[in-house]
Amino acid sequence: MFAKEMGLMLYVDDVTAEKAFWAAAGFQIQNEAKMMGYETFDMKSHAEATTTITVYANDFIRQVSPEVIDMKPSILFESDDIHGLQKKIATLTDTCSPVTEEPFPNFNFASPSGIYFAVKES
């Protein structure tokens, strides 16, 4: 059986820039380490979140799992203050959309590596 906790892996160009971005966005940064000379870290959207996102450098993944390097996840976050979160993220990146109401309140943004994320109202 699968455990109730789940992890996602995110492959990026610049681990340091991603860590700074996600920390500024309010994520909890955990387990910073080096693997084979490459930085990595775990992050959670909230201290009590059950999903952990582990961030790896693209160059590291090319060495250990080249078959998955081009696979990019589509991650959807939820927020109970979507307008406040959108304003915060908009100060961190130029790629933050306004909140739209259709098909439900949502917005999207890209992190420093150009990976897009979506947020919907919870």
CATH of domain 1-72: 3.10.180.10
**The pLDDT of residue 70:** 85
**The pLDDT of residue 69:** 85
Domain 74-122 in CATH 3.10.180.10? The answer is yes
Average confidence (pLDDT) over 82-90: 97
> What DSSP string runs through the chain?
---S-EEEEEEES-HHHHHHHHHHTTPEEEEEEEETTEEEEEEESSTT-SEEEEEEEHHHHHHH-GGGTT----EEEEESSHHHHHHHHHTT-TTPPPPB-SSSSEEEEE-TTS-EEEEEE-
Summarize pLDDT for 1-57 with one digit per residue, the tens: 656 777 899 999 999 999 999 999 999 999 999 999 999 999 999 999 999 999 999
Residue-range domain boundaries for the chain: 1-72, 74-122
